[in-house]
Structure 1
């Protein structure tokens, strides 16, 4: 060891060099400048109140996290750094003269020591334009560092020096700074590092790319200095596992192992191209985003429980502010439950099923073709379509005969919707959907009458915003995901707001969608769509139960939910009331846990009148009308709007398939294919077997060789597969027979899915005729 006289000599020699190197010290920045110029390698997505939601790496040259305040560094790590790099850090004024003398003495006798660079001296190297990251420095370089360290100690506080050092020091590989190291190596924030992890981090400063055995050995020495030798147990294995941990593509300090808004972050990145270190404030609500994410995952996990697996793995949720159009929640995937977690289901195009019906009836009301009291015939219907027949059907306890528009929309009946699109025409309805912002790929003539039942492919975001137009009195306006001007840097300028429906028609449709009594004939009175506060909502399910939707709004928010499978596989017994609706109900109840939702005020263009229905087709009630269309009695022959008369014009001829001489099968026709409706519970659907001729002759129904009875009209609970239906005379001989097929059902009939039934002849257009 050097004597006191040797130490003084070293001090004198170094002082001479310090005087010569003094001018370079004044080039060092202040602590505030260093912190202000720090840039993470990621850009950070923030909620509207500044909560971090997502980090996305931009700078590929180095991996840097956020600047970490010393108060957010674990005490164990602060101790480990001082023990490893500068034991007299809190005692010296930048230069450890005792250590320098020891190093000089060791050099004289050619003995290796740890060197004399203090934390402060190392920091000056990191702050210089060309920091020395490795290798031995010359005596002149050492002197320059010493001068800078003395100056830094006079200008900065000790806590600032240690804080800057921990943020700027290089660690393993491309990792710079404690934040990046702790998140990549240990998967936690710097505040959570324990003694063992702190010792490993400190050991990496001296030899950042050393093998794990060397790092473990060095870390154990540090633990002994920290008086924690017991933490050396199994240290080799721990370091090896830490080194084997794959570096994440993003750095996140979210409590969830998965990030909160990856798909939304990708959308923002595509729009404005954030740079490294940028903090982008969005319109998302962090608490709502987490709640929607957790609710979606929990519901899908329950649907896939081993006892009743339903084969549904994907979902998405969007929440919009009615007044501003701000996107408050954007959940694009179910995360780990999904086999296609990178697919953003908010923007993926899928068939919406019955969720388009409110817009169809709104257009018919605006054109004064129908009122919500108009009667439509829910009976078999054949329509010529592209050289074939389009035969829509729904089987909610049989065809219901004459029903009001309110019942048809509320209970999601298919045939009345098709009758309505005949009045409106597919071409005009498609133009309305396009005006609402739905991305239809083809014209209305391409989809044909099936457009009434949701055959176009659209996105959850566009459909949710279209329902927001109903909430806003018929005016569609763009959504916003960034606060401030939508024409901000590289951000697309949205289309201006414009009216699609009158405020009167939008209000009347809202009264139907919020009327639980109107939906009871299909969904029952007790269903997830009935909230304890005002809400207007509709479900939809596409063919073969591939897509399930629930979209609705309150007085303040519009919420859209989709569940299904990204790859298009059918779900098993999952419907609007069992799949998407519970998620939707949970989200709207969360939104209104402390905020009321009140019904809209009736606009001046509507009137409320009590109406009665001929033959008590439906109970008398008060109904809303556009001024000039109101009535007090609705007749079956023709109501004020002419709806009943128009409806019968499209019913199939009564003589269809009739044979006057002998009993024959009038319905179904030979070769009919029935697809069960995903919007109606399976156990409530029926197929009608009806005789067409020879009613006076006694005959018996026989299905697949088993008798069904003698009635003129039989309602049969459908079962999937190919079937043979016969009429048998008194002698047991078959006098007429038809073959038909049932599709879209599964053998899992214990549950009660919402389903949609639709029958098509084999000549119907497969591309245009949806099964949902």
Structure 2
């Protein structure tokens, strides 16, 4: 048996490995996600079998702990060569007389047992073969390793309590501090746990008190009662959370695409900017809590490289759904799709930035009924230029633009910009102009980055480029650069957005930026996405549950966060407007009837013109009245209903209060006096004159136009569909 034990020990000696090899093979139970500069963003547990922190060098461990461990486990550690023969003799003599004594295993022998599974301590203790193998391996380790290396390896590999392995896991779990910060009392408790990892707090405190007395010497009094209280508190603590840091959502996504077992994973994020984005989001959402807002998300992209500099997926503790990643969640983008629509219309030369669009009630027949777009403020501005329509985010002109472009070609344009729609364009219809499709904040913000890059698209990335961080991404043309430039100029024009946002809104920065806000149906989502010369920032505010917010607009919801981040990004970095690409030129334009002020406007070469005016034919009523003035014997022209058309089907939207879904009835008075016209539905008179507003209710109805005598002069039949309509009041 002795020969077999010696043979096993010899085998252990022949396979002894070096200190550096052990340290390189060490794997913590957590992976650290680092920012672009090497700063820790997130700590994520990836090994659930044990709890190990990162390898701690000896100079990162408190001197008190090193002393406590040597005094507790191996007093002659610095004197022996792996085996303490004096301790072996004492143990043998005690065993001969059946006396209890501490084991004779040195720190080096214990380390040998930790390094070799064949020598590991079992439930019944080590047998003779293992003890001899331990001694032989310890002697070999002492001949090739330095004492400081042996102690360092031991402190990083020794089990302490439960799942805790190594001094880092112990220090951070039981004492909530790094290993270099342990004081004498904490060091004594840690040393006591090595001998009895699962002992009760009183037993641990008793042993720790003995260690502490040895550390301090006989002249320094030791209060063991205080140590007992410390043991109760420390051993009652649970392991710290499985994930800690400021980028949990990005960390989860990054680890899913990384190699298994990596101790550290580097990202493209900037820790300083990540903290700022998180703090700005949380602070502003706290201010909006009274308006039923609890969630939000932020992403910051570098325009040139596409690298993600900040990725905040939720408001953290403020959210009831903190695990939901708002950067990737699919939400309705509202008006933030409009810039791509107008860019496509410009590129196809269907419009110019100075083209006039009619912001007035529109009734568009669709397969599911009549589509009636409304502006955010439920008001209409009349004839406006495309520049004003886009910058002021007017809905009806955008829908009229999509009628020119068509939904499916627009959907293809969005896909080219990286926005992956779930359905084809015809599925969404004309509502696609107002953001009825669902997109993610990441895709939407990267599409705006394509605008910032002159219509060139490349995927965003959160992994550092290989082989060089300065590598240029592979761009693909996704949008006409001339159209992208004109849209960018519009989004940066504070005067053009004044109709809706005023001249001094939060969207106006002291440096050059281009920005667009958006609010989805029923105020469920609020967005602000924009870019400077160097960065693109996207912000979403809302509720992960989909519940509506109360009176939160583009400028009060996401925009303040966007503006705060942009100010920080350009605190010391200038931002200049892009240079016009070849094929665009600037021309002075005038507008008829003083619809808009004279200005210089950008055009695609060949589409410029100096005057934009509305030429309308005189109405039938005015023509007949003029004719009657010339010829009193001209035949009378009866009044007629112009809108709605016969057979119209209206669908009430349950998410819009009925009071905001009024239908405009219009008529041509013909040769009659317009003031004599009466609008009647059923037995109710709902208005007088050539125009009236009607609040629809479900059912089939006949709209009649009567004269002052009550005679029916014209009528239209229509159907109103809808049920479960919300109350008549709307939160402001």
Please give the range of the TM-score, normalised by the shorter of the 2 chains.
0.7 to 0.9
Q: CA deviation at 1:219?
A: 3.3
Matched-pair contact (CA < 8 Å) for 2:392–2:501: yes
CA distance 1:495–1:440, change in 2 (3 Å): farther
Q: Does 1:564 align with 2:538?
A: no
Query: Residue in 2 aligned with 1:530?
Result: 508
Equivalent residue for 1:109, pick from 68, 90, 97: 97
- Inter-partner Cα distance in structure 1 for 2:485 and 2:641: 50
Deviations 1:635-692 (A, max 9, x none): 1129xxxxxx9xx9xxxxxxxxxx977999999x9978579999xxxxxx99797775
- Deviating more after overlay: 353-362 vs 98-107: 98-107
Deviations 1:478-511 (A, max 9, x none): 2222223499xxxxxx996321221111000000
Equivalent residue for 2:343, pick from 362, 374, 383: 362
Equivalent residue for 1:159, pick from 148, 155, 158: 148
Q: Secondary structure at the match of 2:105?
A: coil
Query: Residue in 2 aligned with 1:579?
Result: 557
- Inter-partner Cα distance in structure 2 for 1:320 and 1:598: 17
Q: Does 1:176 align with 2:169?
A: no
Query: Residue in 1 aligned with 2:566?
Result: 588
Question: Normalization by structure 2: what TM-score?
Answer: 0.82
Equivalent residue for 2:282, pick from 284, 288, 297: 297
Q: CA deviation at 1:60?
A: 4.1
Q: Does 1:85 align with 2:73?
A: yes
- Inter-partner Cα distance in structure 1 for 2:130 and 2:65: 29
CA distance 1:235–1:552, change in 2 (3 Å): same
Equivalent residue for 2:251, pick from 243, 260, 265: 265
Query: Residue in 2 aligned with 1:133?
Result: 121
Deviations 1:7-29 (A, max 9, x none): xxxxxxx9xx9999678546432
Matched-pair contact (CA < 8 Å) for 1:45–1:52: yes
CA distance 1:676–1:170, change in 2 (3 Å): closer
Q: CA deviation at 1:31?
A: 1.9
- Inter-partner Cα distance in structure 2 for 1:426 and 1:215: 73
- Inter-partner Cα distance in structure 2 for 1:22 and 1:495: 57
Matched-pair contact (CA < 8 Å) for 2:278–2:315: yes
Query: Residue in 2 aligned with 1:206?
Result: 195
- Inter-partner Cα distance in structure 1 for 2:212 and 2:14: 38
Deviations 1:278-333 (A, max 9, x none): 432222222222222222222222221xxx3x222222212221111122222222
Deviations 1:459-479 (A, max 9, x none): 111111111111111111122
What number of residue pairs does the alignment pair up? Answer: 688
Q: CA deviation at 1:260?
A: 2.5
Query: Residue in 1 aligned with 2:241?
Result: 248
Q: Secondary structure at the match of 1:540?
A: strand
- Deviating more after overlay: 372-381 vs 27-36: 27-36
Matched-pair contact (CA < 8 Å) for 1:573–1:748: no
CA distance 1:382–1:286, change in 2 (3 Å): same
- Inter-partner Cα distance in structure 2 for 1:584 and 1:458: 19
Deviations 1:693-712 (A, max 9, x none): 776548999xxxxxx99998
- Inter-partner Cα distance in structure 2 for 1:191 and 1:74: 4
- Deviating more after overlay: 139-148 vs 70-79: 139-148
Listed as ranges, the gaps of 5+ residues in structure 2 are 217-221, 620-636, 680-685, 696-703, 710-714
Query: Residue in 2 aligned with 1:280?
Result: 265
Query: Residue in 2 aligned with 1:409?
Result: 390
CA distance 1:18–1:444, change in 2 (3 Å): closer
Equivalent residue for 2:580, pick from 602, 605, 610: 602
Deviations 1:20-73 (A, max 9, x none): 967854643222222122122333322222223234444444332211112222
Alignment RMSD: 4.4
CA distance 1:277–1:419, change in 2 (3 Å): closer
Question: Normalization by structure 1: what TM-score?
Answer: 0.78
Q: CA deviation at 1:187?
A: 4.3
- Inter-partner Cα distance in structure 2 for 1:662 and 1:420: 29
Q: CA deviation at 1:352?
A: 0.7
- Inter-partner Cα distance in structure 2 for 1:672 and 1:210: 72
- Inter-partner Cα distance in structure 2 for 1:430 and 1:53: 37
Matched-pair contact (CA < 8 Å) for 2:687–2:693: no
- Inter-partner Cα distance in structure 1 for 2:654 and 2:394: 14
Matched-pair contact (CA < 8 Å) for 1:408–1:417: yes
Matched-pair contact (CA < 8 Å) for 1:28–1:127: no
Q: CA deviation at 1:85?
A: 1.8
- Inter-partner Cα distance in structure 2 for 1:206 and 1:215: 9
Q: Secondary structure at the match of 1:171?
A: strand
Q: Does 1:237 align with 2:198?
A: no
Deviations 1:406-431 (A, max 9, x none): 11000100000011001111121111
Listed as ranges, the gaps of 5+ residues in structure 1 are 1-13, 251-257, 488-493, 639-644, 649-658, 679-684, 702-707, 719-725, 751-772
- Inter-partner Cα distance in structure 1 for 2:525 and 2:336: 11
Give the 5 Å matches for 1:207-606. 207-225=196-214, 226=216, 227=222, 229=224, 231-235=226-230, 237-242=232-237, 245-246=238-239, 248-250=241-243, 258-272=244-258, 274-304=259-289, 308=290, 310-394=291-375, 396=377, 398-485=379-466, 497-606=475-584
- Inter-partner Cα distance in structure 2 for 1:391 and 1:23: 85
CA distance 1:521–1:249, change in 2 (3 Å): same
